[in-house]
Structure 1
Amino acid sequence: MVFFCFLVDQRRKVRSSKPAAGICSRCGGCASVADMETATRLCYLLTVHRVTWRAIICTFCGAMLKSYRHYRLY
């Protein structure tokens, strides 16, 4: 029996954010530090992989200025 499973989508969601010092290099808008979450789904069924990370994003244009892993203990 052959069973095919494929990547359906990968969604990024901002869980929380707070203002940060600095400005965007692209548009000159304010920057904020955001806790992001990426969820990967396979075969329209279930979320297989979930990663939490932190990024510095522009509040005006939405550009990601810097991203880095953020390990949180639950």
Structure 2
Amino acid sequence: MVCFCFLVDQKRKIKGSKPAAGTCSRCGCGARIADMKTSTRFCLIPIYCRSWRAIICCFCGSVLKSYR
């Protein structure tokens, strides 16, 4: 028996942010502390949502450190 599962999409959204001390290790720009929300949808139906905090770069958007 074969079962196929397809993940439709996973979106990250920034709910709020504030400046943080330090710079990005990849591009050298400033960093921010952001409250993030990740939502996962399967066949256009939201099945999982999670809120978490992360330190992100202002310029390139990379996640430098996450707090779950």
TM-score between the two structures when normalised by the length of structure 1: 0.79
Query: Aligned partners of 1:59, 1:7: CA distance in 2, in Å?
Result: 29
Aligned residues: 65
Gaps of 5+ in 1: 70-74
Equivalence for 1:18: 18
Equivalence for 1:35: 35
The 1:6–1:32 alpha-carbon spacing in structure 2 relative to 1, beyond 3 Å, is: same
Q: Aligned AA for 1:66?
A: K
Q: How does 1:1-74 map to 2 (within 5 A)?
A: 6-44=6-44, 46-69=45-68
Offset, 1:27: 1.2
Q: Aligned AA for 1:54?
A: R
Provide the aligned C-alpha RMSD in A. Answer: 1.4
Query: Aligned partners of 1:40, 1:15: CA distance in 2, in Å?
Result: 16
Query: Aligned partners of 1:5, 1:27: CA distance in 2, in Å?
Result: 37
Query: Aligned partners of 1:5, 1:22: CA distance in 2, in Å?
Result: 41
Query: Aligned partners of 1:60, 1:42: CA distance in 2, in Å?
Result: 31
Query: Aligned partners of 2:66, 2:47: CA distance in 1, in Å?
Result: 22
